[in-house]
Homo-oligomer: A and B are copies of this chain.
Amino acid sequence: MPKQVDHDERRREIGEAVCRVLATRGLDAVSLRHVAAEAGVSMGRVQHYFATKDEMLLFAFNQISARVGARMGAVHSPDPHTYLRALLLELLPLSTAARSEAPVLAAFLAQAVVEPRLAAPLREGAPQMVAFVASLISQVRPGGDAERDAMALLAFVDGLMMQMLIGQVDALVAVELVDHQLDRVLTSG
């Protein structure tokens, strides 16, 4: 056989090509041929690592999900207010990394509306994110329904991401809105 190859690494490379196509030309431009071309490999290689297109897309979805999760996990701060602020801002297309991931997320989110296999992990992952945000809120402002505020904040940031991607809101205003919203939540009760 040819040199033993890092199977997961190869899949990851292809997965990133999927995300790049997704971000620049949308979901309907994602074909085996386009992905192969974007990755700079042959179509046969793509097929070798993914049995079907659906499997490839699902892998790419898990990949950016993990990536966003990792970025969230990398956020730290001793001050819960600062922590929460950084966490929410990390969900917006502000940094270079986030700017390249957000359009991919948006495409997958929209597809999740009509594809239960994408919606399921999103539904399952949401509660723990809500719980974590709620715990941060409680640390700053004990009392009040922290979970409710957490859900509202996350929905707000989600919508803000979409509006930024469409160009309705620029980065400066977005940060301002997050800060204002955060202040309101954290100084209530």
Contact = CB atoms under 8 A, between A and B. Distances in A.
Contacts of A158: 158-159, 162-163
Number of copies: 2
B26 A115 contact: yes
Interface stretch (A41-49, A62-70, A78-86, A174-182): A174-182
Interface residues of A, number: 48
Nearest to A115: B26
Interface string A93-114: 0000000000100110111111
Interface in A139-173: 145, 148-149, 151-152, 154-163, 165-169, 173
Contacts of A152: 156, 177, 180-181
Given A106-B110, A110-B107, A113-B103, A148 B122 contact: no
A76 interface: no
A174 B58 CA distance: 28
A128 interface: no
